[in-house]
Amino acid sequence: MMAGQYNEIIRLYKSIEVLNEYGEREIITKLDYTTRAKVDNTSGTRQNENNEIVYDHTKTFYVRSYVPINDTSIIEFDDRKWRVITIDRRKENNDIRIVTELINE
């Protein structure tokens, strides 16, 4: 039974293109889904690029197979936002393995 390992709450956001009051196209993020996940810390480094400190962190999330996620989804976990790199649907475990990287704002 793997149900006890899904103990972290994550939020999935999707990007939507809307027209503002001036007729310009804007991309906004909207909360799409909230679920529980298993979280693994894959790697994390601090780099200096162009005299700016960049935190290069990677996390792996495991969610159930029914969670609606795609390549453009953004995951919010622990007050940080993560960009999806790869999605691996694993039928033998009935879950989805999502490799992400931290969005540096």
Domains and CATH numbers, the chain: 3-102 (2.40.10.270)
What single letter denotes the amino acid at residue 65? S
CA atoms within 13 A on the CB side of 14: 10
Q: What is the widest separation between alpha-carbon atoms in the chain?
A: 53
CA–CA separation, 89 and 1 (whole Å) = 19
Which of the four pLDDT bands, split at 50, 70 and 90, describes residue 55? confident
Instruction: Answer with the residue of higher pLDDT: 82 or 56.
Output: 82
Q: Which pLDDT score, from 0 to 100, does residue 24 have? A: 92
How many whole angstroms separate alpha carbon 27 and alpha carbon 6?
31
Rg of the chain, C-alpha, whole Å: 16
- Residue 13: what pLDDT? 96
pLDDT above 70: residue 78: yes
Of the candidates 46, 36, 32, the one whose C-alpha atom is nearest the C-alpha of residue 6 is: 36
